[in-house]
Amino acid sequence: MSHTTDPNQPKKAVVLLSGGLDSATALAEAKAAGFEPYALTVLYGQRHAVEREAARAVGHSLGVARHLELEVDLRPFGGSSLVGDGEVPKDRPTESMTHGIPSTYVPARNTILLSLALAWAESLGAFDLFVGVNCVDYSGYPDCRPEYLRAFENLANLATRVGVEGEGQFRVHAPLITLTKEQIILRGRELGVDYSLTHSCYDPSPQGLGCGRCDACSIRLAAFERLGLEDPACYAGV
């Protein structure tokens, strides 16, 4: 298979799309940077139905060349309250949310997700991966740091046929990495992201409403509030 790229065609990029606020904004950034986005949604935990729906709505609203959904159930591994191992923490003070590695950390999640994105990119002839990680709000996640992303880029170039044959250089784009949640929201609004379609909650109701109390809901709600805006996502009892 040839991976020769036509300079007149937009470059393809694989965008990890969870349907959350950050990944929706990362998709909009990929489009704004002129890439043709191929969205990849990996359903790995307890929130499959809600995430699938949000990711589909976001992908449809922003427009993607193709949207793939993969079910990679990480629940048997346990080790995270996000995949049903223990309770998702609620009502935590900001101080404890922004320090330490929370129980919602999923072991090696971003390495798993980026590896899947890399595999799809190599077969598509794409060299650009977009991920909505952010190290400001969640300083404790080891796989959201710039040095982790650079290390993954090195791995991608060493570990693939197209990398070693020198057809191109893989790049991991994390356009939100140094932005605060408020800056992400402002940038997304500029780029036309409809945040009513996104879903960030770690522990949604059976109807798919955000709990309003987990770290993801709290950080998101507080950011909208500081901006003087209403969070258009749906919450239960908020």
Report the interface residues with Zn ion, using CB under 5 A: 201, 210-211, 214, 217
Q: Which residue from 42, 50, 51 is spatially nearest to 69, judged by alpha carbons?
A: 42
**Least distance in angstroms from the C-beta of 55 to Zn ion:** 17
* CA torsion angle 120 121 124 126 (round to 10): 170
For residues 196 and 21, what is the distance between their CA atoms, to the nearest angstrom?
9
For residues 179 and 161, what is the distance between their CA atoms, to the nearest angstrom?
34
**Least distance in angstroms from the C-beta of 210 to Zn ion:** 5
Q: Which is nearer to Zn ion, 83 or 201 (CB)?
A: 201
* CA torsion angle 209 234 135 149 (round to 10): 70
Q: Which is nearer to Zn ion, 10 or 84 (CB)?
A: 84
**Least distance in angstroms from the C-beta of 167 to Zn ion:** 43
Contact between 221 and 212 under an 8 Å Cβ cutoff? The reply is yes
Q: Which is nearer to Zn ion, 40 or 217 (CB)?
A: 217
What is the DSSP code (8-state) at residue 90?
A: B
**Least distance in angstroms from the C-beta of 202 to Zn ion:** 5
How deeply is 186 buried, as exposed, middle or buried, from its count of CB atoms within 10 A (0-12, 13-18, 19+)? middle
Q: Which is nearer to Zn ion, 160 or 218 (CB)?
A: 218
Q: Which is nearer to Zn ion, 149 or 214 (CB)?
A: 214
**Least distance in angstroms from the C-beta of 103 to Zn ion:** 14
